[in-house]
Structure 1
């Protein structure tokens, strides 16, 4: 049950044995270099929910459940 929009997209393409069609999330945009990443969220250029805030400020890692963490401004 991914919460981050980029994670949702990745998981939507995982193989399944179910015959039901599942919703696929498209990933577009450029992959960010890990050597010298731009400011903000590293997934902003590929995230369908990204807004200006995502490119300016890195989201803080926060608890969204007992043992669950997520770093996204909009989760």
Structure 2
């Protein structure tokens, strides 16, 4: 999961822009980008697969990243 920061109320423009870039780069031989989808919901998301790895890009949403940092910190504390 990735989160892209943007100016307030610009999430949709940025999501469309990133979606277009990813769709245009599907023919790039170095990185295999497939199944690009722009999901226009309350939380804008661009979904795709990069080299067989599923990628979700949200916009101006840090809660998921905060949760990931929390889980990672707990994981390393256990070790």
- The normalised TM-score by structure 1 is 0.27
Larger Rg: 2
The structure whose RCO (Cα within 8 Å, separation 6+) is larger is 2
Q: Between Structure 1 and Structure 2, which shows a larger proportion of strand residues? A: 2
